[in-house]
Structure 1
């Protein structure tokens, strides 16, 4: 995640992240009316990118306003600093795990550089290819481009998508993602970008032809005879409807579903009747861990057996599965809130703990302040989630406190109060002690609770209504580090950046790793290496 090394405001195009400028008579205000500080463009874009789900409305900005600000910043920096911008977009889709933001950003990158006649830096083709990491994303990028910029798709976009198609199109990905609900099916993508098969994948030519047939001649499309997965899938789908449930739930049903690449969504659409316990138990062995996580309530409602539930619990709480899923820690809290059955509580707590494995055990005394103001409760972490930023902030604040050598955990709004916790207790138990505290008065909270701590960390959306001219860090001695973890990516900042004053962004635990690097005297930098030209 981001930590911003600090240079003068004049050094806007220097290699590293920039600094915020000090306020003057024309200074901006926070959305709540407090004094604000202008961010350097790269810092503003980074925080917006990692704190934003595209088209998501927030307390202070509409989805359209945030999207416009995001694409404008990408377009400006694609021309002014293409190496940095290409690195950001690649990192967003990779370690940052932000699918839509990276795709929208890559399109804006190419559009701006073509309009400016810009040829230097990472190529447009390579940037498009770098953000496409799942087989449905070539079609999603084309759908976005044609809806926003028109039907004329430039050659660099086509070539970048074709590179990704050769990497991503397989029999299994075709079964999972080539569905009628997509604006651009696999066959549409192939028609538009004219991707040739990868010479190292001799089976891919037949797969491409089948994808085209599925799109244009679905009634007569026949999978390649040499492809066992596609043929097993076809055999399942061609079963008479009255036989399907008996075959799926009978002996060997789970193995047939796995061999035929049948997802739970496809099975639910093809069964004659509901997804009962027997149907779920047949498909659960072949479900991915995140699909299991999203369906815990459905398993309970269908009456899945305790034996099968125990296997589900073991998978979703396995440290390796959690690491491979690359899901944000708040996903496990959301699952816990959505499926409150006692049999999921312990495995979800373990999964949450695994997802926070990189949170450091900070030495000395740490003051952690968690924003519980109204705007944090109004905003959810995504349009598809009911989990608020307030709860996401509390997850990270509590986890950091539990890991620290000695910590004071504080919730704040108009007022503030310490949140008690005991070493080793579950994060989910600590979360029950947080409250809603109205408006935002960050500086007052810092002043009330800072007692010669070795560092201060504030988890917030930065939209304070009142604080001192120097921001919330004003009561803290200049030599003591103050870290702001911004969860929302709003434009105004609540305090200046400078020596020992740092801003992070997003909802992963990566930012916490930077705290130790800074305090060890290492050189902090953007979390990606330079992109090749």
Structure 2
């Protein structure tokens, strides 16, 4: 008998952090919506915002201005929360541009607010340092500041950048990121912030001097003799061009390239010619996971060996490597679509699966609704061929495949079920999604809700007007409805933050960890320390 050991419904009693104010709003499509409080609006915008990029409903500049205004408001009103958000955006959400812009605006707002707020909450120096995690980012942050506010850089920015420089600048970073195409070279950053070398790194003083010489006297700059990486790189650069390809293709090629920290991007220029199979096979051992993903097509076109391809496949599909690479799941979809050879198909399917490790196995009956309306088809960024419709389909399919019993539905102006079989890959299910026009979310819920234990809607929330009200009103109050917001527009399609109505967002699967917590009756707080006691 299963009469007493069956799922009776997912009843939640806990609150989630993204909350509505109670004031009504109108979606961009004219539907009934809800206004969110500033912290919730900033969070959903931040986790979906590729800075400077257009979206379907918002101009890129207006979107960036809204982001900056929210950061400045909350930097004064709630500095602990805001500082925690910015650090989390860079270290956990892996969003570089939003965190750098946010840190600059945090400093600006607190300086403008005056001395009365400067002693409250984390200082600007601490916040700036917290978001700089890659050696090109000090220059990126200074580039943003000077473009927006001029050449007068305040002390909190200078000191935070200097702290990061001491952590991040080494010879490999210099070779990779100190390039002529940067407005702020390493030497420019050092000149501006006057970073002193780290006492624990006795080699750093010589490196800083070399970075300054590279910037101001490139023809006569000589790397420190004790630095093996820079010395090895200098030797390679001095090699006559006709001898370079033979060296790389020889038995010592991979070791010489690795020792000199030669990147694949710099290799073609150094060789002054294309990268053939032998050259790719020499540089592949030194390439990181993202570089491998970007070059699968190039490997095939050059004709790298099956042995080398097998090694690449093993690396890109390794679960630990996928976790360390911190790539968005849709990166693997992009690689799968653009790699011409079938030898990459299975490794990329595996890698996509590993990147969705946080998607929970939900008990009972679940209705998963995936937005495939017109507004979801705008590219995620100016350099991406993927869009929010793709991202929504990835996450919706993963949820359905992991759940005990799920109905997977795509919706737009109309709606229809998406068939799938247990054990199928997410990529195969994706092929069954289409473009369904407008955004009648309410009708999709009304059509497909059949006493499910929960409803999950993956969407940009810009639902059209319905005489039946907002989408979540179609579900009994005791049944939880989770909205996963992928765009961060200002109005939401329904109220959120109550015991059974929850919104979360972003382009990674980490937000889904909230669902089991809420259904266990546990509160789901912001995923970073945001009070003085937490941060101590």
- TM interval, short-chain normalised: over 0.9
1:122-155 C-alpha deviation (Å, 9 max, x unpaired)? 1110000000000000001001100001000000
Taking only aligned residues, the RMSD between alpha carbons, in angstroms, comes to 1.5
Tell me if the contact between 1:4 and 1:502 (Cα under 8 Å) persists in the aligned partners. no
Per the alignment, do residues 361 and 17 of structure 1 end up closer, same or farther by CA in structure 2, a change over 3 Å counting? Answer: closer
Determine the structure 1 residue equivalent to 2:46.
49
Determine the structure 2 residue equivalent to 1:300.
300
1:37-79 C-alpha deviation (Å, 9 max, x unpaired)? 1111111001100011001101111110100100011011111
Determine the structure 2 residue equivalent to 1:285.
285
More divergent stretch after superposition (189-198 vs 243-252):
243-252
Question: How far apart are 1:6 and its partner, in Å?
Answer: 5.2
**Structure 1 counterpart SS, 2:180:** coil
Question: How far apart are 1:20 and its partner, in Å?
Answer: 3.3
Tell me if the contact between 2:254 and 2:282 (Cα under 8 Å) persists in the aligned partners. yes
Question: How far apart are 1:467 and its partner, in Å?
Answer: 3.0
Matches within 5 A, 1:221-236: 221-236=221-236
Per the alignment, do residues 231 and 4 of structure 1 end up closer, same or farther by CA in structure 2, a change over 3 Å counting? Answer: farther
Determine the structure 2 residue equivalent to 1:200.
200
Question: How far apart are 1:466 and its partner, in Å?
Answer: 2.3
* d(CA) in 1 for partners of 2:204, 2:220: 20
1:302-332 C-alpha deviation (Å, 9 max, x unpaired)? 1212221111111001111100001111110
Determine the structure 2 residue equivalent to 1:265.
265
Question: How far apart are 1:470 and its partner, in Å?
Answer: 4.5
1:324-356 C-alpha deviation (Å, 9 max, x unpaired)? 001111110011112142111100000000001
Say if 2:22 is the partner of 1:21.
yes
Matches within 5 A, 1:80-229: 80-117=77-114, 118-119=117-118, 120-229=120-229
Question: Structure with the greater relative contact order (CA < 8 A, sep ≥ 6): 1 or 2?
Answer: 2
Determine the structure 1 residue equivalent to 2:447.
448
1:85-125 C-alpha deviation (Å, 9 max, x unpaired)? 10110000010100000000100110011001121111110
* d(CA) in 1 for partners of 2:84, 2:466: 35
Tell me if the contact between 1:5 and 1:18 (Cα under 8 Å) persists in the aligned partners. no
Determine the structure 2 residue equivalent to 1:13.
none
* d(CA) in 1 for partners of 2:468, 2:139: 49
Tell me if the contact between 2:336 and 2:344 (Cα under 8 Å) persists in the aligned partners. yes
Determine the structure 2 residue equivalent to 1:341.
341
Matches within 5 A, 1:463-474: 463-468=462-467, 470-474=469-473
- The answer for unaligned runs of 5 or more in structure 1 is 8-15
TM-score by length of 1: 0.95
Could you list the structure 1 runs, at least 4 aligned residues long, displaced by more than 2 angstroms after superposition. Answer: 3-7, 16-20, 466-470, 530-533
Tell me if the contact between 2:38 and 2:70 (Cα under 8 Å) persists in the aligned partners. yes
Per the alignment, do residues 4 and 60 of structure 1 end up closer, same or farther by CA in structure 2, a change over 3 Å counting? Answer: farther
More divergent stretch after superposition (433-442 vs 332-341):
332-341
TM-score by length of 2: 0.95
Per the alignment, do residues 458 and 18 of structure 1 end up closer, same or farther by CA in structure 2, a change over 3 Å counting? Answer: closer
**Structure 2 counterpart SS, 1:459:** strand
* d(CA) in 1 for partners of 2:187, 2:136: 12
Tell me if the contact between 1:22 and 1:496 (Cα under 8 Å) persists in the aligned partners. no
Question: How far apart are 1:469 and its partner, in Å?
Answer: 6.3
* d(CA) in 2 for partners of 1:124, 1:387: 35
* d(CA) in 1 for partners of 2:329, 2:15: 29
* d(CA) in 2 for partners of 1:136, 1:5: 42
**Structure 1 counterpart SS, 2:451:** coil
Say if 2:408 is the partner of 1:409.
yes
Tell me if the contact between 1:360 and 1:400 (Cα under 8 Å) persists in the aligned partners. yes
Say if 2:312 is the partner of 1:315.
no
* d(CA) in 2 for partners of 1:226, 1:468: 75
* d(CA) in 1 for partners of 2:55, 2:201: 45
Tell me if the contact between 1:6 and 1:19 (Cα under 8 Å) persists in the aligned partners. no
Determine the structure 1 residue equivalent to 2:9.
none
* d(CA) in 2 for partners of 1:495, 1:4: 19
- The answer for unaligned runs of 5 or more in structure 2 is 1-11
Tell me if the contact between 1:223 and 1:231 (Cα under 8 Å) persists in the aligned partners. yes
Say if 2:471 is the partner of 1:479.
no
Question: How far apart are 1:32 and its partner, in Å?
Answer: 1.2
Tell me if the contact between 2:15 and 2:524 (Cα under 8 Å) persists in the aligned partners. no
Determine the structure 1 residue equivalent to 2:7.
none
Tell me if the contact between 1:442 and 1:466 (Cα under 8 Å) persists in the aligned partners. no
Tell me if the contact between 1:264 and 1:283 (Cα under 8 Å) persists in the aligned partners. yes
**Structure 1 counterpart SS, 2:357:** coil
* d(CA) in 2 for partners of 1:276, 1:310: 18
